Amino acid sequence: MSSIAASPRRRVLADLVARPSTRVRALATDAALVLAGVALVSLLAKVSFFIGPIPITGQTLGVIVVGAALGARRGAAALTTYMLAGLAGLPVFAGVVAGPAYVLSPSFGYILGFIPAAFVAGWFAERAWDRKPWLAFVGFVAASIIPFLVGVPYMAIILATVLGQDVTFATVMSAGVLPFIVPGIIKAAFAALLVPGAWALVRAADRRR
């Protein structure tokens, strides 16, 4: 693991955007990329469908793709901006509820967890794990776990203290973990095809130049 941590940062997809020569323009480019990431997660948050009895939403997929495409810092910045936009009342979350009161929602912990999840997806991408599907899948599964590490304890606290419900390990697992395992794997696998596929298109375009 130390060799992985010590490996140099590699380019991510967002780094293929022409880098302006001045610092102001570079910051403007980064801001535009962050806002594009917010827009993508917001759009995918509204996408939901079923594979048999399994519900699939696009929100976590957006988090992984944005993190991998923008890199660790810009990815985390995009998801922080996404969270703040929702708390400001913009309809960016998966449900219809937004605004400051959303911090009392049992699902808000997952929104918090999206920030480090995007960072981790970007961290793996910066070490070129997003170039090969099997490596990308491992990194994206790891990133997909992080929202649960934050969201499940948060959900338990809100259910117990705000909603006054009896909270047990079984109820928390059934409500906040088990239904999302298979969808999470599916979304990580899809992202592990999508992002390396984008890199393959980039390499093919470079060869034709």
Give dist(CA 45, CA 47) in Å, integer: 6
To the nearest 10°, report the CA torsion of 65, 69, 72, 76. Answer: -60
Residues 98-131: pLDDT tens digits? 899 999 999 999 999 999 999 999 999 999 999 9
* Band of pLDDT at residue 208, cut at 50, 70 and 90: confident
**CA atoms of 165 and 174, how far apart (whole Å):** 15
Domain limits, the chain? 2-208
According to CATH, the topology of domain 2-208 is Arp2/3 complex 21 kDa subunit ARPC3 (1.10.1760)
Q: Is the dihedral of CA 67, 72, 74, 80 positive or negative?
A: positive
Angle, CA 162 vertex, CA 148 and CA 89 arms, to 5°: 70
Alpha-carbon distance of 34 to 66, in angstroms, equals 9
Which pair of structure tokens corresponds to residue 164? 């006054």
Two tokens, residue 99: 């605004």
Q: Are 110 and 151 in contact (CB under 8 A)?
A: yes
Q: How confident is the model at residue 5 (pLDDT cuts 50, 70, 90)?
A: low
Q: How far is CA 201 from CA 24, 194, 208, in A?
A: 30, 11, 11
Instruction: Please state, in angstroms and rounded to a whole number, the distance separating the CA atoms of residues 122 and 70.
Output: 7
182 by Cβ neighbours in 10 Å (0-12 / 13-18 / 19+) ranks as: middle
**What confidence tens digit (pLDDT) does each residue in 46-61 have?**
988 766 555 678 999 9
pTM equals: 0.91
User: Using CA atoms, how far apart are residues 205 and 30, in angstroms rounded to an integer?
Assistant: 24
